Structures are given as structure tokens and as C-alpha cells.
Structure 1
């Protein structure tokens, strides 16, 4: 993987990490909570966290299915794509699978009745509250990383499919030639070659 490709992956990871920090710090700045306040806050945020976890499970499952479609499209490309393109699909799939599992674990934890566990976790509710905040902030940051990687993949696929854009840096066999033909020009050359071949056989 080239340095430019490393920088693209690193920028996505940094974007996700910054988003996670902003989410957590923004919530933490609301102030510290006591155990009693933590219990009330947990009861209030549980429906929202359930909705968030369910939404993340749905979105990541959809992303995993779309990666199969993207992989099929990439294999049907006219020319061989660089390994980085497939590595990026792998990273998206890993992040999506990890977020799906993390969201499922969060959903199962939220199904535990708080009222039945008040004596067991007495004195630790403020810790549990901040652990949940950190957990959900990390999940949100990972989702943003996935979105940034998806944007990069979509941008490259649009360049490949665009009839009037020259594709540079995506194909495995190219030498960064600025005079590479566009997709429409390649299609026209293929048609001309087919016409010449059919004319020669007559």
C-alpha cells in the first residue's frame, strides 16, 4: 500500500477518533453525576441507546451486503484495480462486522432490568454510566470511519464509471500517464476495432 493510500486510511481513522472524542467530551462537560443521578440518566438514555444500537446493526449489516456488490463490480471492471481498493473493502467489512457485534452486545446489556440490579451494582452506577458513554462514543467514531472509507470507495467507483473522466492511480497496470483515455474514449476505440475487424472479414 502506497504512502498516499496509507494517508487516506489514516485520515479516516483520525476522523473517527476525533468524532469519538467530541461525542464523549461533549457529554462529559455536562458535569459529573452521583450514583442516584447515574441511575436516572441510565433509565432515560436506555431507549435512545437501544434505538442507536438497532440502527447501527441495521446499517452495518447493509454495508456488509453492499461490500459484496462492490467486490463483484470491482472484479467486473475493464482493467485490474490496485490491491489498495480491495484492502479498503476489507477494512470496511472489518469495521462493519466489529460495530455490528458491539451494537449487539450493547443491545443485550440494555435488556438487563436496572431495578433488579440496583443492589448488585450499588455504588458503581456512575462508573457504568461513563463506561456506556465511552462505549457508545467509540462506536460512533467507528461508524464515522466507515462512512469516510465508503466515501473514498464511492468516489473511486464514480471515477471508474464516469464516461468523461480520466482515471489515474486506481489501475494496477498504469504508470500514472496523464494521457490515459477516458471510459468513453476506450469504448469508442473498442467499437472502431470491432468495426475494422468486421469490415476485414467481409
Structure 2
């Protein structure tokens, strides 16, 4: 886990910055009453569902494209270090967590809570804040995934496309 965070430090910084910027925007909304929150939930739920759908679709697409990346990695005459494949595995793991999280959030917030009559009005502000903070977290996770993927793709382009002979992921001595 320590190596995972160390190797993907820039991607995580980008994701954390995104999460905090969105959360800051949410925080600046200020305190709202339960009745206001109920109205805001009803109007914002379509956008939240669209965000979750988009992230589910994007993360599933990224997982499928990782197979193409692996095909390019193994199909080249140059030999890559195990670290490259560990990068791809890290992206796949993180992307799978993102996929499952967005799918669960989509299902959870797809419950027509604003139509329920036995839910106290005071609960709606907590549900509203949970929705906003959840969206900021999965947005930050998506940015992290894309930055991790960018780094891996840039490495492959440098090795395979630009034939960079002294790249850190190129296995020239049979090392790992």
C-alpha cells in the first residue's frame, strides 16, 4: 500500500485537489434547513445520477482499454519491467473500486427518498450533504484514475512509440 501511494503520488494529489475544490464549493453553500434540502435533493438527483452513470461507464471502459494496453505491452519486441505491469494492475484495482463505489452510490441515491412520507424533514439535510460529498469523492477518484492512466500511457508511448532506449520501465538487463 505504501508503494502504491508513493508510485501514484501525483495522481492522488490531483484527485485530492479535485475532491477538496468540489467539497469547498459544497461547504460554501452554508447551512440549509431540512425543507430546503428536500427541494435541492429533488432537483439535483438527476445530475448526481448522471455523474454516477458517467463514472460507471468511464471506469468500465478504462478496464476494457487496459486489456488493449496490455496487448501493446506484451506485443512489443522490447521487454518491460514488472513495475509496468504493477502500474497497470494498480490502475485496474483503483478503477474497480471506483466502478463499484459509483454503482453503489447510484443505487443508493436512486431510492425515491423525497417521495417518502415517513422520513423526518431534518434528515434531508444530512442526505443532501452526503450526496454532495459523495459526488466530490467519486469525482476526485475519477481524476486520480485518469492521471494514473495518463502516466502509464505516456510511459508506453515513450518506450514503444518514441523508442526511448533508457526509459526507467525498460528491462535492458533482464532485471525486474
- Answer whether TM exceeds 0.5 for this pair: yes
Secondary structure at 2:32's aligned position in 1? coil
2:52 is matched with: 53
Structure possessing the higher relative contact order (Cα contacts under 8 Å, 6 or more residues apart): 2
- Structure 2 distance, partners of 1:5, 1:50, is 30
Per-residue deviation, 1:78: 1.6
- Structure 1 distance, partners of 2:163, 2:92, is 31
- Structure 2 distance, partners of 1:41, 1:60, is 28
1:183 is matched with: none
- Structure 2 distance, partners of 1:53, 1:74, is 31
1:97 is matched with: 96
- Structure 2 distance, partners of 1:167, 1:48, is 47
1:189 is matched with: none
- Rg (Cα) greater in structure: 1
- Structure 2 distance, partners of 1:116, 1:5, is 43
Which runs of at least 4 in structure 1 moved beyond 2 Å after TM superposition? 4-8, 114-122, 161-167, 172-175
Residues 1:123 and 2:133 aligned together: no
Distance 1:120 1:86, change over 3 A: same
Per-residue deviation, 1:164: 5.8
Partner deviation per Cα, 1:113-148 (whole Å, 9 max, x = no partner): 124324224321111111111111110111000111
Distance 1:122 1:14, change over 3 A: same
Distance 1:84 1:37, change over 3 A: same
Distance 1:123 1:163, change over 3 A: closer
Partner deviation per Cα, 1:29-63 (whole Å, 9 max, x = no partner): 12221101110110111010111111111111100
2:13 is matched with: 14
Does structure 2 conserve the Cα–Cα contact (< 8 Å) formed by 1:5 and 1:84? no
Distance 1:95 1:6, change over 3 A: closer
Aligned-residue CA RMSD in angstroms? 2.2
Count of residues in Structure 1 that have an aligned counterpart in Structure 2? 173
Residues 1-202 of structure 1 mapped to structure 2, 5 A cutoff = 7-163=6-162, 165-174=164-173
Secondary structure at 1:37's aligned position in 2? helix
Partner deviation per Cα, 1:152-177 (whole Å, 9 max, x = no partner): 011111112224644421212359xx
Deviates more, 1:77-86 or 1:29-38: 77-86
